[in-house]
Each structure stands twice: as structure tokens, then as C-alpha cells.
Amino acid sequence: MHIRRYLPLAALTLVLAATAGGCAGNQPAPVGARELAETQTFPFYRVYWAGPRFERYRLVAADGLANYVSAVGENVYYGNCLPGKTSAVGGGGCELPLQVNTLIYTRHANAALGTQRNTVLRGAPATIYNENRSVALYSGREEIIVSSDDLADALRAVSQLRPINAPGSPAGNLPAPVYCPGLSGPRPPAVRAALAALPGHVCQRLESTLKLDRALFGKG
């Protein structure tokens, strides 16, 4: 499992410092047209954002193909530097109030996330974790992680998610995942129903495989 994706928002600010030039003393400028175009033409999978501006936050940075790392995925960042926040490495970067990270889902157990709450958002299985600062949604082939210093902001951003590099709108549900997410902890009835209804009965098939592995090899 890629631990990198589950670090708090502050731990991702090294990327931002490189992209936006740091902002300990200077607030980041709006994202440039060339930088945005790189994200809008990203070819490998759908990248999600909350629009060119999310409420009081402007879009200030966006990843593209040139710096793409599959384990990190694609990120878009909103807002100005939060007062008193610095980069996780103690450098000149800063923590921004809203980030949307999209990456291809690889199978992992969510137990490593610590305290968490499973739910359904936009019709997709989701997990709220990182002391209510991060929301992971499982959709299509992707995992979409919305991180904010405020859960209410993160949830409103979830309601505005749509692809930046493909047709789509914030209206309606997100596509159902084509995999079974490795949820940990209690599963409310709505979550169990969403997992049971996934295409191809992927969760039921996975559970059957794990049961067979446990019976044959004592693992799974």
C-alpha cells in the first residue's frame, strides 16, 4: 500500500512549494493557463476538481503530466496560505485550506488510516479520516481524496466534484467503483447496500476469494 497518499494535507506541501514557488511570505498566485491546460489534458484517467474556484478559495496550483507520479496521483489546490502553517519539512512552503487528490486505486486495507467513519457520498462509498480533515471517495478506477482544515468545507467540495479532463458536472452521483474498497471499521446499512450493489458483485467475489485463501493457506 502507498503510505504517501494517506499523509495529512501539510505533508503534501512540498509539492505545492515546488509548484507555486512557496508562500510563507507571499500568497500563491492563481493557477496559470499553461499549468491548468496540462491538467485538463491529462490522458491516463479522470482527474477531479471543485471547479476553477471553490466558494472563497481560488485555484492556485494543479498537477499535470510532466510531474506525474502514479503513487501520488494528480492534485489540485485551492486557497491562500493558512496562518501559522508551514511545510511538513520546515521549509518555505505552506498549508492550503483545500486539496483534491485523484489517483488510481490499488488494493489496501484502510486500517492504517486510524480512526475513521465509513459513509456514502455522491452515491459512492467513502471514508472520513485524518481527524475529520480528509475524505476518500471510491469511484470508477479512482480514489478521490479531498483534504481540508475544515470538514464542512471538504464535504461541500465533495458536492462540487467533477472531472477536469473529461465531460461531467457536480450534479448527480459519481460513477460506482469497479473494485471493492478495503474499508475498515463499522459499515452502516447505506454503505453495505452500496458495496453489495457494485458492478459484477466485486465485493462478494473478493470475500469468497479471501475465504478460500484463509481455508487453504490460513491467510487472506
C-alpha cell at 110: 484502510
pLDDT tens-place string over residues 199-216: 999 999 888 776 666 667
Burial pattern 17-28, b for ≥16 Cβ within 10 A else e, equals bebbebbeeeeb
Which SS3 state, helix, strand or coil, does residue 56 take?
Answer: coil
Half-sphere exposure of 83 toward its Cβ, with a 13 Å CA cutoff?
0
Query: What pTM, to 2 d.p., does this model score?
Result: 0.82
> Under DSSP, is residue 129 helix (H, G, I), strand (E, B) or coil?
strand
pLDDT tens for 37-73 read 999 999 999 999 999 999 989 999 999 998 899 999 9
At residue 84, what is the residue type?
G
Lowest-pLDDT range, 11-15, 31-35, 75-79, 212-216?
11-15
